[in-house]
Amino acid sequence: MKKPNRILEAVLVMAMLIATLALPACKAPRLEPGGVYAPTNELGQVVYADTGLALADASYQLAYDTVSAVLKFERDNRATIWALSPEVKKALDKVREQGNALNLRWAEARYLYKQNPTPAGLTALQTILAEIQRLVPVAQQQLAPVTSTLTQQP
Amino acid sequence: MPPIVLSIIALINLVSTTGPELAKLYQQARSLFDMLFRGGLITVAQQAALKSWADAHEAATLAGRTPPEWQIEPDPPTPIGPGN
C-alpha cells in the first residue's frame, strides 16, 4: 500500500518543480549546431538558434504531459474514482475545459511565431506556457484525496 | 462489489497506468531541469524529438483533434444507495 503514495509524492514533487521553473531565471542552454532549432548552412555555420522556442516547447511538453497523465488516470479509473468522489471528475472537467482552450491558444501562438519569429511572439508563447503550468498543481491536487482514501482503506 | 475489491483494482491500475507515465515524465522533467539550470547541451536528436512532438501536437490541436483523456465526457451514473 506504500507504492501509490510514493508515486503520488513523486508526481507532486514534479508539479512543484514545474511550478517553480521560471524561464527568465534560467541559464541559457546550448543548442547543438545542425539541430532543427539551430540549423546550419552548407558551410556548417549556424543560420539561427531559436533557444527560446526550444525551451518553450520543452516546458510546454512537460506541463501538458503531466496534466495528461492525471486526466488519463482519472479516465482509466473513472468508475472507482466517481464512486469515491464525483467531485474529482467535475473538477478535472474544468481543467479539461481550461486546458483545451489554453492548448488552442498555444497552437495558434506557436503557428504564428513560426511564421514570424518575433520577441513579442515568443512572449505570447511564454505567457500561455505559464498559464498551463498553473494548471498542473490544480489537476494533481484533485487526485490527492482519492489516492489517500484508497491507501487508507483496510 | 465490496469497496476493498474496488480499492485493490484501483491500486493495481494506479501502479500499472501511472508507473510508465511517471517514468516518462521524470525523464522529461530531468531533461528540462538540465537544460534550464545546468546550461545543458540540447543535442540534434533531442531537438528533433522535441520539435516533432510540438509540431505534431500543434497540428493536431489546430485540426481540432483532442486526445480521449482531454475530452469532457458524460458523468457516470451515480449508484443508488443510502443517502442518494
DSSP chain A: --HHHHHHHHHHHHHHHHHH--GGGSPPPEEPTTBTTB-B-TTS-BS---HHHHHHHHHHHHHHHHHHHHHHHHHHTHHHHHHH-HHHHHHHHHHHHHHHHHHHHHHHHHHHHHHS--HHHHHHHHHHHHHHHHHHHHHHHHHHHHHHHHHH--
Query: What confidence score (pLDDT) does residue A141 get?
Result: 83
B54 in any annotated domain? yes
State pLDDT tens for residues A75-122: 988 998 888 889 999 999 999 999 999 999 999 999 999 999 999 999
Q: Are B71 and A100 in contact (CB under 8 A)?
A: no
Give the chain A residue whose CA is nearest to the CA of B38: A27
Question: For residue A100, which residues of chain B lie inside 8 Å, CB to CB?
Answer: 66, 70
- Split at pLDDT 50, 70, 90, the class of A36 is very high
pTM of this structure: 0.77
- Domain hosting B16: range is 3-61
A&B contacts, CB < 8 Å: 177
Q: Indicate the number of domains in chain B.
A: 1
Question: For residue B12, which residues of chain A lie inside 8 Å, CB to CB?
Answer: none
Cell numbers standing for residue B56: 505534431
Of residues A39 and B29, more confidence is placed in: A39
- Say yes or no for a CB contact (<8 Å) between B50 and A61: yes
Query: Which ipTM value was assigned to this complex?
Result: 0.80
Running DSSP on this structure, what letter comes out for residue B41?
E
Q: Indicate the number of domains in chain A.
A: 1
- Domain hosting A100: range is 3-152
